[in-house]
Chain A
Amino acid sequence: MNIHTIADHLNSLADNSDTGMNFDCQPISGEIDVLQVTILGREELPIFVSVTDDQILCISYLWGADEVKSECINAMHESMLEMNIPMPLSSFSKIGDKYVVFGALSINSSVTDIEHELAVLSSNALEVIDDMSDYLV
C-alpha cells in the first residue's frame, strides 16, 4: 500500500463512495510522501495520510495548544482521555504544539478500509471540535 494507490482509489470514487463523501487528494512532497485528503464541504479540516513500513497513519489537526483556554487545559485533557476509547477508530494525540486525532491501520488494509477510516476520522474530528469548543478560545 502506498499513498498513490490510496489517492487513485479515492479519486476514482467520485460520487460513488459508500460513505456518502466526496474525497479530493493532493500529494505533498517531502522526505516522506504525505497525501492530503479533503472531503467536500469540510475543506477546512484536511486529513494527512502517510504510509510507513508497517502501518498507514491518518492524521487530522484539531487545534493548537494556544487555542486552549489556559484554565481549561486539565479538564480538556481528561475529557480527551475519557473519549479516547468510545470514539470509533480514532485516538487523540499531540504533535508538537498541535492536538490531533488520528487512526492507524495495518499496511495490509484494503482501500475500502482506508476510505471508511477517513470518513469516520473526519466525522470524529468535526464532532470533537464541536464538543470541546467550550475549552477553546
Chain B
Amino acid sequence: MSIFKKIMTAIRGGASEAGEAIIDANATRIFEQEIRDAGNHITKAKRDLTGVMAEQMSAKRDIARLEKEITEHEGYAGQALEKGDETLALAVAEKITTLESELADQQHALESFTGNADRLKELVKKSERQINEHKRQLSMVKTTESVQKATSAITDNFSSSNSKLLSAKDSLERIKAKQQKFDDRMKAAEVLESENSDTSLTAQLKAAGIGEQSSNANSVLDRIKAKQK
C-alpha cells in the first residue's frame, strides 16, 4: 500500500487521536534505513563510476597508441620489402600481428568499460530518484505525526488556559467590531483634523485681510484722533 493511502486510512480510522502513531515507529526507522542505504548505494556507484571512467580513458589512450604503432610498423614493413629484405618484412609483420591482437583486446575492454559506465550512471540516477521518493514519503509520515502532536499541544493549551474557542462566526463578528471601532476612531481623527484645518483657513483669510480684522496700533490711534476732533 502506498504511504499516501496508509496515511489516509489511518486518519479515517481514527488514528488522528493524539499519541497514536500513523505508521509505527519501527516502520519509520526501516524507512529511514532504506533512505540511508540508497544514499550509500549512490556513493558507492559514484566511486565505481570514477574508477571505470578512469579505465575507459586509459583504454582509449592505449588504443590510440596501438593504432599509431601499427601504422608505423606497416610503413617499416613496406620499406623492408622495397629493400628486398623479405625476412625483415616478415618479422615486422609478426610484430604488427601482436599489436593488432593487443588492439583488439583494448577495444574489447573499452567496450566493456563504456557499458559499465553507462550502467553505473543509470544506477546513480535510479537511486537518486528512489531516495527523493523515499524522502517525500517519509516527509508525509513525519508531517502527519507532527501535525497531530502540534494539535494535541494546542488543544492542551486551550483546555489548560480555560480559554474557550469561539465559533467562527463569533470570532469574525468580534474582529469586525474591532475593525469598526478602529475605523470610527480614524474617522473621528479625520473630523478633528478637518476642524483644525477650518481654523487655519480663518487664519489664512485674516492674513489676506479678508474677514474680521484684529485692531492694530494704527487703527487705535486713528480712533483716538477721531475722538479728539
Contact = CB atoms under 8 A, between A and B. Distances in A.
Interface of A: 28-32, 34, 36, 41-42, 44-45, 48, 50, 52-55, 57, 59, 61-64, 67, 95-96, 126, 129-130, 133, 136-137
Contact of B175 (A30, A31, A44, A61): A44
Main secondary structure on B side of the interface with A:
helix
A95 B151 contact: yes
A45 B157 contact: no
Query: Looking at B139, B167, B169, B175, which has the most chain A CB atoms within 10 Å of its CB?
Result: B175
Contacts of B174: 44
A29 B178 CA distance: 30
Interchain residue pairs A-B with the least CB separation, the first 8: A30-B153, A44-B171, A63-B168, A50-B150, A31-B149, A52-B146, A32-B149, A28-B157
Contacts of B143: 52, 55, 57
A44 B153 contact: no
Interface of B: 16, 135, 139, 142-143, 146-147, 149-154, 156-157, 165-172, 174-175, 178-179, 182
Nearest to A52: B146
B154 A63 contact: no
Given A54-B139, A57-B150, 7 more contacts: A31-B149, A34-B153, A44-B172, A45-B171, A54-B135, A95-B151, A133-B169
A41 B169 CA distance: 16
Contact of B153 (A32, A96, A133): A32
Nearest to B160: A28
Contacts of B165: 61, 64
Contacts of A130: 172
Nearest to B157: A28
A57 B146 contact: yes
B21 to A, nearest CB: 12
Contacts of A42: 175, 178
Interface centre among A36, A44, A57, A130 (most CB of B within 10 A): A44
Contacts of B139: 52-55
B50 to A, nearest CB: 30
B147 A41 contact: no
Given A28-B157, A52-B143, A54-B139, A126 B175 contact: yes
Contacts of A29: 153
A95 B16 CA distance: 8
Contacts of B169: 67, 129, 133, 136-137
19 contacts: A28-B153, A28-B157, A30-B152, A34-B154, A41-B179, A42-B178, A44-B170, A44-B171, A48-B154, A50-B146, A52-B139, A53-B142, A55-B139, A57-B146, A63-B168, A67-B169, A126-B172, A136-B168, A136-B169
